[in-house]
């Protein structure tokens, strides 16, 4: 049925009256209009410019030329006409109000203005306003097709609109990355708060949570981290605690002034209002906080971020462009935290006073309690925006609670993540990026073969590589292993963990050891530096053992230092579970070399396959790594952890999906396959699909 000119004229009049309420420039109107259209996934119109064009077409078909798209107000009116009728206008405008389209710069009470604007719009559109059962809450009804029983209601303009498709992956990621922090201060008081992974082994939280904790921990229990989502090995039990490095503090800034000197002000009409509603008071307070961002970055003992994922603060709104931050602060916010004694929770609210917020502090109305400090704030698109900091009230106190305190008014405060990261020195940024411990990138070797489990081995290699005390690694093969436990696979893991040019490998088997000790020493050096000519003198006028201890080892060490300056040599002897080193002069040299290892800082020794400890190995320098059946028992858990390392967890996929895929892989590979068989299955059947889904690294 053709549209009547009279009906269209009424809509034009309504659209023009609504457009008159907007004070924002055309660029902002266009940006916010496009945001609402995108969130609502409208096919027509699909943008502000498209809407203006459709509105013009609608008018021209009726012979109406009342609106000029060159004028900002008329352009918005045309865009509203493109939506259809009053109901469609109301649906979009309710979101636009929340996003701040009708706000005025410097407005003392934007929430009050939004309420007023909504009342005007529903009056213009001809809808009713009702009062809720609670007299302090406004209920706004937008009748659908004139049927009161199907009314659409907006309960509170403080409420917000959120696209669930945008927030769903953000929730899953937050579940993996947000932690509870338990800190014991030097005076024995306990503080509990929240934090988030921002690096492979770095957690960001508030300084006021960990202030007073010794910077060099006398006991690891003084600072503990707990994630609610644990590995599948703990599906129903208490999530395990993780601990920090002994020297745990990477960077921090103090809390600063929690409140300005004057917590309230009196308006011209005599009404008392909180300081945060006054732009001048807000600015004066925020200027004092440039070096008081109330954050601490904690160094973890384990690189948990490589398994759980972490937030890259260089990708947060506002980093390098404060305009991005300002736009993120329009609309809803979602706080992820550990409130009180509860498990990980999230509460939703809205960002407030975005136009006057300082880069040092922003305001929000998501509910928080003690324990919420250090929690994460996401914007309406699920982007990480800020670190929750504290609550402010008008009674001269700060707290972690949003409900009114003592009859006063309250609001929550947070610190933008971009501001925190910008404040770090280059050295501190490098420490945030550092893994802390060794790890296999993408959970695979350099030739892309997957490595399942073997975390114990990686930890031991890390300790021996540092060489503070341990210089000797023994892979001890226990009884009860599968036919192919991946013993020799250890050498490939070592080469991947310790790439050239820093580390050089010489891999020998018992049958390659020379009968002569001197020739064995020469063999090691020639394998380390191919093509060199070297010769050691034989023993004279002394016993062979004394010559090795007093002369050959010293000369061997000098040659090693000269031939491999600044490098580290790893002498690996493999297959010791199937072959013995002959009882010759070569074996005597090796035994003395083991006992003198502390005198050769450039050398590390790895023995693979022995079932007992050699008497010649100094116990204090030995890092023992048993390889037994327990390491292969829970293959589903092993594969699930590998999927995390591969990057599945960073796709915003619920952990149960990883558990399901892990069980499928182990079943399809043969029920209880060896790690080598499982690796071959993955390479044959899953490498391509996983690369397509996760991206090849």
| The token pair that represents 138 in the structure block | 């406004």
Ramachandran quadrant class, 145 (left: phi over 0; alpha: psi -120 to 50; beta: rest): left
DSSP tag of 361:
B
Which residues make Cβ contacts (< 8 Å) with residue 696, sequence separation at least 6?
A: none
Residue 146 lies in a domain: no
Q: What Rg, from alpha-carbon coordinates, does the chain have? A: 33
Residue 137 lies in a domain: no
pTM: 0.66
Query: Of 434, 433, 436, 429, whose CA–CA distance to 251 is shortest?
Result: 429
Residue 369 lies in a domain: yes
Task: Tell me the C-alpha distance between 693 and 671, whole Å.
Answer: 25
| The token pair that represents 523 in the structure block | 């063999």
pLDDT score for 233: 43
Judgement on whether residues 396 and 419 belong to the same structural domain of the protein = yes
Judgement on whether residues 502 and 421 belong to the same structural domain of the protein = no
Query: Of 147, 129, 148, whose CA–CA distance to 139 is shortest?
Result: 129
Task: Tell me the C-alpha distance between 644 and 658, whole Å.
Answer: 8
pLDDT score for 446: 79
Exposure string for 445-456, b = 16+ CB within 10 A, e = fewer: beeebbbbbbbe
Residue 439 lies in a domain: no
Distances (CA, A) of 500 to 142, 458, 496, 509: 69, 17, 9, 22
With beta carbons less than 8 A apart as the criterion, state whether 527 and 506 touch. yes
Judgement on whether residues 481 and 572 belong to the same structural domain of the protein = yes
Question: End of a domain among 628, 649, 677?
Answer: 628
Judgement on whether residues 92 and 184 belong to the same structural domain of the protein = no
Judgement on whether residues 677 and 588 belong to the same structural domain of the protein = no
3-state secondary structure string across 241-267: EEEEEEEEEEEEECCCCCCCCCCEEEC
Owner of token pair 């009062």: 131
pLDDT score for 138: 28
Judgement on whether residues 299 and 410 belong to the same structural domain of the protein = yes
Question: Exposed, middle or buried: residue 134 (CB in 10 Å: 0-12, 13-18, 19+)?
Answer: exposed
Query: Of 646, 656, 177, 658, whose CA–CA distance to 382 is shortest?
Result: 177
Question: Exposed, middle or buried: residue 540 (CB in 10 Å: 0-12, 13-18, 19+)?
Answer: exposed
pLDDT under 50 in the chain at which residues?
A: 1, 128-158, 230-237, 399-406, 697
Helices and strands in the chain, H and E counts: 23, 23
Judgement on whether residues 108 and 187 belong to the same structural domain of the protein = no
Question: End of a domain among 428, 459, 488?
Answer: 428
| C-beta atoms surrounding 557 within 10 Å | 17
Bond from prior residue into 88 cis (ω within 30 degrees of 0) = no
Judgement on whether residues 478 and 598 belong to the same structural domain of the protein = yes
Owner of token pair 């070297």: 534
β-bridge pairing 190-199 and 178-184:
antiparallel
| The token pair that represents 42 in the structure block | 């409208």
Judgement on whether residues 307 and 349 belong to the same structural domain of the protein = yes
pLDDT score for 133: 27
Query: Of 183, 143, 147, 155, whose CA–CA distance to 98 is shortest?
Result: 155
Residue 354 lies in a domain: yes
Bond from prior residue into 666 cis (ω within 30 degrees of 0) = no
Judgement on whether residues 624 and 646 belong to the same structural domain of the protein = no
Residue 440 lies in a domain: no
Judgement on whether residues 607 and 655 belong to the same structural domain of the protein = no
How many structural domains compose the chain? 4
Question: End of a domain among 628, 650, 682?
Answer: 628
pLDDT score for 571: 95
pLDDT score for 405: 43
Question: Exposed, middle or buried: residue 509 (CB in 10 Å: 0-12, 13-18, 19+)?
Answer: middle
Residue 435 lies in a domain: no
Helix H or strand E encompassing 376: strand 376-379
The domain that holds 175 is classified in CATH as 2.40.10.120
Phi, psi (deg, nearest 5) at residue 421: -65, -35
Judgement on whether residues 515 and 482 belong to the same structural domain of the protein = yes
Task: Tell me the C-alpha distance between 49 and 392, whole Å.
Answer: 42
CA dihedral 297, 303, 309, 315 (to 10 degrees): 40
Residue 141 lies in a domain: no
Task: Tell me the C-alpha distance between 613 and 388, whole Å.
Answer: 53
Helix %, strand %, coil % for the chain, to 5?
40, 20, 40
Structural domain boundaries, residue 532: 469-628
Tell how far CA 461 is from the center of its chain. 26
Query: Of 518, 494, 515, whose CA–CA distance to 505 is shortest?
Result: 494
Task: Tell me the C-alpha distance between 212 and 226, whole Å.
Answer: 20
Q: What is the DSSP string of 439-507?
A: --GGGB-TT--B--S-HHHHHHHHHHHH-SS--EEEEEEPTT--S---STHHHHHHHHHS-TTTEEEEE
């Amino acid at each position: 049925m053709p549209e009547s000119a009279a009906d269209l004229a009424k809509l034009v009049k309504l659209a023009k009256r609504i457009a008159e309420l907007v004070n924002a420039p055309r660029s902002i109107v266009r940006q916010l209009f496009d945001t609402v259209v995108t969130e609502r996934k409208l096919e027509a119109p699909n943008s502000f410019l498209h809407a203006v064009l459709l509105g013009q077409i609608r008018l021209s078909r009726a012979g109406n030329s009342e609106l000029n798209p060159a004028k900002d107000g008329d352009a918005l009116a045309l865009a509203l006409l493109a939506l259809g009728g009053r109901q469609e206008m109301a649906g979009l405008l309710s979101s636009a109000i929340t996003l701040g389209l009708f706000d005025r710069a410097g407005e003392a009470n934007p929430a009050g203005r939004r309420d007023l604007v909504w009342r005007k719009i529903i009056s213009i559109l001809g809808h009713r306003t009702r009062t809720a059962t609670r007299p302090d809450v406004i209920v706004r009804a937008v009748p659908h097709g004139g049927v009161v029983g199907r009314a659409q209601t907006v309960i509170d303009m403080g409420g917000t609109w959120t696209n669930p498709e945008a927030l769903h992956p953000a929730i899953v990621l937050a579940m993996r990355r947000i932690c509870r922090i338990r800190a014991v201060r030097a005076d024995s008081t306990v503080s509990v708060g929240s934090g988030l992974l921002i690096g492979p082994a770095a957690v960001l939280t508030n300084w006021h949570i960990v202030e007073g904790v010794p910077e060099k921990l006398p006991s690891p229990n003084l600072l503990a981290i707990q994630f609610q989502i644990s590995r599948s090995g703990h599906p129903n039990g208490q999530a395990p605690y993780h601990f920090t490095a002994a020297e745990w503090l990477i960077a921090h800034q103090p809390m600063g002034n929690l409140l300005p000197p004057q917590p309230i002000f009196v308006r011209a009409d005599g009404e008392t209002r909180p300081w945060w509603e006054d732009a001048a008071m807000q600015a004066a307070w925020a200027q004092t906080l440039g070096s008081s961002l109330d954050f601490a970055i904690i160094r973890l003992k384990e690189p948990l971020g490589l398994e759980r994922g972490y937030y890259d603060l260089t990708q947060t709104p506002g980093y390098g462009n404060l305009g991005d931050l300002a736009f993120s602060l329009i609309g809803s916010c979602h706080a992820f935290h550990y409130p009180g004694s509860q498990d990980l929770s999230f509460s939703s609210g809205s960002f407030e006073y975005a136009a006057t917020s300082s880069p040092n502090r922003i305001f929000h109305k998501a509910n928080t309690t003690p324990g919420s400090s250090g929690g994460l704030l996401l914007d309406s698109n699920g982007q990480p925006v800020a670190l929750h900091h504290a609550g402010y009230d008008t009674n001269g106190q700060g707290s972690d609670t949003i409900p009114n305190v003592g009859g006063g008014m309250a609001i929550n405060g947070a610190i933008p993540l971009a501001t925190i990261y910008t404040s770090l020195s280059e050295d501190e940024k490098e420490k945030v990026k550092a893994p802390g411990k060794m790890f296999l990138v993408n959970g695979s070797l350099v030739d892309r073969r997957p490595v399942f489990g073997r975390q114990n081995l990686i930890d031991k290699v890390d300790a021996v590589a540092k060489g503070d005390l341990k210089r000797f690694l023994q892979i001890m093969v226990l009884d009860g292993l599968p036919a192919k436990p991946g013993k020799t696979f250890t050498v490939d893991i070592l080469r991947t963990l310790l790439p050239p040019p820093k580390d050089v490998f010489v891999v020998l088997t018992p049958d390659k050891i020379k009968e002569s000790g001197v020739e064995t020493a020469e063999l090691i050096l020639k394998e380390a530096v191919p093509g060199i000519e070297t010769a050691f003198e034989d023993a004279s006028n002394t016993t062979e053992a004394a010559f090795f201890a007093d002369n050959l080892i010293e000369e061997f060490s000098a040659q090693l230092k000269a031939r491999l300056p600044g490098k580290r040599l790893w002498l690996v002897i493999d297959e010791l579970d199937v072959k013995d080193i002959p009882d010759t002069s070569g074996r005597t040299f090796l035994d003395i070399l083991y006992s003198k290892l502390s005198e050769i800082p450039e050398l590390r020794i790895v023995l693979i396959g022995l079932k007992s400890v050699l008497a010649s190995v100094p116990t204090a320098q030995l890092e023992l790594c048993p390889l037994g059946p327990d390491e292969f028992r829970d293959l589903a858990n092993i594969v699930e952890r590998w999927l995390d390392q591969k990057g599945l967890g960073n796709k915003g996929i619920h952990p149960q999906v990883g558990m399901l895929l892990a069980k499928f892989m182990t079943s399809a590979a043969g029920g209880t396959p060896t790690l080598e068989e499982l690796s071959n299955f993955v390479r044959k059947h899953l490498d391509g699909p996983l690369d397509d889904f996760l991206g090849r690294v």
